[in-house]
């Protein structure tokens, strides 16, 4: 979700669900230690519970970044062992690290010594020619022995040779059964399933076998699904009954950010899917896309776009 789930996106998503755990886009250790840490790490306190997803593999750097994340107030640090991009591989992090369970175990061990917040791992079911289940079982067993209690499993293998990151999201088959098998083998661990999940009905079906469900792209492209999360999955009252009810809080946030020199299109790009499936949704997207980038654009663009949508 690189360049997707930034702080503006997460604030918007929190307006839809009070209970869902929100994750940052992947941030590398280099960006934190040798870049603009505040740009990557600052977030609105309304986002809690929120986890920092961290890309890296050098234990001392990972530990220092975990300390920094805790000082910023994050509720969790999640180690990314799932991203398949070539740029990530060259940086020695992401899915290629599934071949180095001892290294990830060492990162978990030293990070947990230094912070009080949970250190979790997000990974694939395997990479390249690894056996479909055996290698994943060994990876999880090794990292769990170092103290990790929560594993988020993308139920696709990552082919690091021959497939692009986009192809790695679609071509390798989904193997939910292997994630279920992992939970059966490690009942004491929290196993969260991820990959290709598009509806809350599917989430409920997965929850019969695992402890949690992570939804990424579908929640971004069709964010209204988050408005039903609290009632359907947590047994809590829904925050909103209709989509336009979220707009007053969004307008207030956008006005504050624009006053602080944030460009409207940096925020509005995350809102394009809000009215998906409703009459006028295409007009909403088009109006924002054609106007939000213009100099001086503000909340009036969103208000005019919303007037084009019919919500019954």
Residues 83, 96, 148, 203: which is the catalytic one?
Answer: 83
Q: Work out whether the CA dihedral 184, 189, 194, 200 comes out positive or negative.
A: positive
122 DSSP 8-state letter: E
**Predicted pLDDT at 1:** 61
**Predicted pLDDT at 86:** 59
Question: In which band, very low, low, confident or very high, does the pLDDT at 129 lie, cut at 50, 70 and 90?
Answer: confident
- For residue 287, what are the domain limits? 243-306
Please state, rounded to an integer, the average pLDDT across all residues of the chain: 93
Question: In which band, very low, low, confident or very high, does the pLDDT at 211 lie, cut at 50, 70 and 90?
Answer: very high
Tens digits of per-residue pLDDT, 165-183? 677 777 788 999 999 999 9
Which of 210, 234, 258 finishes a domain?
234
Beginning with the edge strand found earlier in the chain, give each strand of the sheet holding 22-28 in spatial order.
22-28, 50-55, 76-81, 119-127, 150-158, 190-194, 212-214
Q: How is 140-205 classified by DSSP, letter by letter?
A: HHHHHHTT--EEEEEEEEE-TTT--HHHHTTSSPP-HHHHHHHHHH-TTSEEEEESS---HHHHHH
Which of 234, 254, 282 finishes a domain?
234
* 230 and 179 co-located in one domain: yes
Number of domains present in the structure of the chain: 2
pLDDT of 89 higher than 70: no
| Region at 295 (left for phi over 0; alpha for psi -120 to 50; beta for the rest) | beta
**Predicted pLDDT at 261:** 96
pLDDT of 62 higher than 60: yes
Instruction: Give the list of residues 6+ apart from residue 89 with CB closer than 8 angstroms, or none.
Output: 95, 96, 160
CA-wise closest residue to 6 among 266, 221, 258: 266
Query: Is the Cβ–Cβ distance between 246 and 18 less than 8 Å?
Result: no
Instruction: Give the list of residues 6+ apart from residue 244 with CB closer than 8 angstroms, or none.
Output: 306, 309, 311
pLDDT of 210 higher than 90: yes
**Predicted pLDDT at 11:** 98
pLDDT of 131 higher than 80: no
Q: How is 51-76 classified by DSSP, letter by letter?
A: EEEEE---HHHHHHHHHHHHHHT-SE
Residue with tokens 């020619």: 129
List, in sequence order, every residue forming a beta bridge with 53; answer none if it has no partner: 26, 78
* 227 and 291 co-located in one domain: no
CA distance 240 to 15: 9
* Pick from 6-15, 67-76, 160-169: least confident: 160-169
Instruction: Give the Cβ contact number of residue 99 at 10 Å.
Output: 15
Cα separations (Å) of 165 from 129, 203, 265?
A: 17, 24, 25
* 258 and 224 co-located in one domain: no
> Does a structural domain hold residue 87?
yes
* 128 and 186 co-located in one domain: yes
* 181-200 mean pLDDT: 97
* 84 and 117 co-located in one domain: yes
CA distance 244 to 247: 5
- Ramachandran angles phi, psi of 81, nearest 5°: -125, 40
CATH of the domain at 288: 1.20.120
Q: Does the active-site annotation cover 148?
A: no
Tens digits of per-residue pLDDT, 241-271? 999 999 999 999 999 999 999 999 999 999 9
Question: In which band, very low, low, confident or very high, does the pLDDT at 158 lie, cut at 50, 70 and 90?
Answer: confident
* 149 and 256 co-located in one domain: no
Helix, strand or coil, per DSSP, at residue 77: strand
Query: Is the Cβ–Cβ distance between 135 and 126 less than 8 Å?
Result: yes
Residue with tokens 């061990």: 109
* 24 and 150 co-located in one domain: yes
């Amino acid at each position: 979700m690189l360049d997707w789930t930034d702080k503006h996106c997460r604030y918007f998503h929190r307006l839809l669900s009070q209970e869902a755990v929100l994750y940052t886009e992947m941030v590398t250790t280099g960006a934190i230690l040798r870049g603009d840490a505040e740009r990557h790490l600052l977030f609105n306190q309304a986002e809690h519970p929120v986890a920092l997803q961290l890309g890296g593999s050098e234990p001392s750097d990972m530990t220092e970044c975990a300390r920094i994340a805790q000082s910023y107030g994050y509720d969790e640090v999640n180690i990314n062992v799932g991203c398949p991009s070539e740029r990530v591989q060259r940086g020695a992090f992401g899915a290629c690290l599934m071949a180095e369970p001892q290294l990830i175990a060492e990162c978990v061990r030293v990070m947990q010594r230094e912070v009080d917040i949970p250190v979790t791992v997000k990974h694939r079911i395997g990479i390249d020619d690894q056996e479909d289940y055996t290698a994943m079982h060994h990876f999880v067993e090794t990292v769990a022995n170092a103290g990790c209690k929560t594993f988020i499993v993308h139920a696709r293998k990552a082919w690091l040779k021959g497939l692009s990151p986009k192809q790695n999201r679609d071509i390798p088959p989904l193997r939910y059964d292997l994630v279920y098998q992992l939970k059966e083998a490690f009942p004491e661990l929290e196993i969260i399933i991820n990959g290709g999940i598009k509806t809350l009905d599917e989430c409920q079906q997965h929850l019969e076998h695992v402890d949690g469900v992570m939804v990424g792209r579908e929640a971004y492209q069709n964010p209204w699904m988050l408005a039903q999360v609290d009632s359907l999955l947590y047994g809590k009252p829904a925050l909103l009954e209709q989509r336009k009810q979220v707009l007053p809080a969004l307008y207030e946030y956008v006005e504050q950010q624009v006053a602080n020199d944030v460009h409207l299109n940096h925020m509005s790009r995350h809102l394009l899917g809000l009215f998906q499936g409703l009459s006028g949704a295409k007009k909403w997207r088009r109006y924002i896309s054609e106007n939000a980038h213009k100099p001086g654009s503000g909340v009036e663009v969103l208000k005019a776009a919303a007037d084009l949508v019919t919500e019954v």
